[in-house]
Amino acid sequence: MTPVDVVLIGRNEGARLVAALASVQGQARQVVYVDSGSSDNSLVEARQHGATVVELDMSTPFTAARARNAGVDALDDPQLVMFIDGDCMLVDGFIDAGRAHLEANPKTGMVTGWRSEIHRDASLYNQLCDWEWRRPAGVIEACGGDMLVRAEAWQGIGGMDPTVIAAEDDEFCTRLRKAGWVLERIPHEMTRHDANMMQFGQWWSRAVRTGHGFAQVGHLHPEYFSKERKRVLVYGLVVPLLILLSFTIAWWLPLILIGIYELNYIRTAQGLIRDGLPKREAWRHALLLTLSKFPNLIGMAKFHLRKLRGDEMRLIEYK
């Protein structure tokens, strides 16, 4: 049976890290915890739970990609590596299911499963996260940061790109696919996540970071996130400019153009309902998804401005 090692990353996760560490006990050969400058008792808790602790050098801007790379580097002869974040709990049985799938499918380089929110109904924003995590099983293009990866595949493409501050998992998965590996989501509960996103400002910052990811990963892989970038440019930039220009033509023309957003909102809600989201939640989620084009645009602009100036790509945090 192929051994599985776990790489956990986090900072100041407190009780959530304790729960994460407890959830991996007995399920992995090695557990490495990579800390990015915690001021709480994270380091003590990790050591008490038997994890190897790596303290990330914070003189260099933090990225989750850099932390995961450091975690793999600290493993002794890794073969299969399970990555989870410090605000997640590993669900019993996923490692066994993922390992069995990888052993039966030698061309598959990575498997993921279903992530769900621990406190799904604590806020609209948590509900939206929970919906984002739930995607159909089968062959996929990319996934989030929770994944079980062949060390051979990881090492073959050089791990994650430490300069990518958002959607680093998408960028990693894109290179995996280009290297010839198959990526799959198996129909199994994988992790339980605590987004703890309770305020509009947190959601807005997360949406800005998402936009930065659209632009940065799109810069590295132009074909990826192309639809997302086009939608952001149309609804976040082109339509607002047309509305402003229309004021100089006729007083009623802006009202018609504003209707584009209403139509987009309705179509988004209807799509969510068709995908199985309850109607009440769908209409509320659609409002955020329609609005998200504006913070996404800010994030895209932030990336291009940083690139133009030669600035470091620093993390955009939302909690």
pLDDT tens across 215-234, in order? Answer: 999 999 999 999 999 999 99
Mean pLDDT of 63-77: 96
Kindly provide the residue ranges of all beta strands, DSSP E only, lying in 96-139, ordered along the sequence: 108-117, 138-139
Contact 75, 154 (CB under 8 A): no
Q: What is the pTM of this model?
A: 0.94
Read off the pLDDT band of 317 (50, 70, 90): confident
Residue 40: other Cβ atoms inside 10 A: 13
Q: Please, which residues have CB within 8 angstroms of residue 23's CB and are 6 or more apart in sequence?
A: 89, 90, 91
Q: Please, which residues have CB within 8 angstroms of residue 295's CB and are 6 or more apart in sequence?
A: 204, 205, 207, 208, 210, 211
Residue 117: other Cβ atoms inside 10 A: 24
- Candidates 132, 146, 138, 140; CA nearest to 174 is 140
d(CA 44, CA 251): 64
Radius of gyration of the chain (CA): 21
Contact 88, 11 (CB under 8 A): no
Cα angle 219, 224, 226; round to 5? 85
Comma-separated ranges of CATH 3.90.550.10 domains in the chain: 4-193
What totals of helices (H) and strands (E) does the chain contain, helices first? Answer: 13, 9
Read off the pLDDT band of 311 (50, 70, 90): confident
Task: Quick: pLDDT tens for 146-190.
Answer: 999 999 999 999 999 999 999 999 999 999 999 999 999 999 999
Structure tokens at 300: 């895209």
- Does domain 4-193 fall into CATH 3.90.550.10? yes
**Helix, strand or coil, per DSSP, at residue 243:** helix
Kindly provide the residue ranges of all beta strands, DSSP E only, lying in the chain, ordered along the sequence: 4-10, 31-35, 52-55, 80-85, 88-90, 108-117, 138-139, 147-150, 182-193
d(CA 34, CA 81): 14
d(CA 179, CA 209): 27
Does residue 319 carry a pLDDT above 80?
no
- What one-character DSSP code corresponds to residue 238? I
Task: Quick: pLDDT tens for 1-46.
Answer: 899 999 999 999 989 999 999 999 999 999 999 999 899 999 999 9
Task: Specify the pLDDT at position 191.
Answer: 97
Q: Please, which residues have CB within 8 angstroms of residue 265's CB and are 6 or more apart in sequence?
A: 286, 287, 290
Phi-psi sector, 159: left (phi>0), alpha (psi -120 to 50), beta? left
Task: Quick: pLDDT tens for 94-124.
Answer: 999 999 999 999 999 999 999 999 999 999 9
Q: Please, which residues have CB within 8 angstroms of residue 289's CB and are 6 or more apart in sequence?
A: 128, 268
d(CA 148, CA 219): 26
Task: Specify the pLDDT at position 129.
Answer: 94
Mean pLDDT of the chain: 95
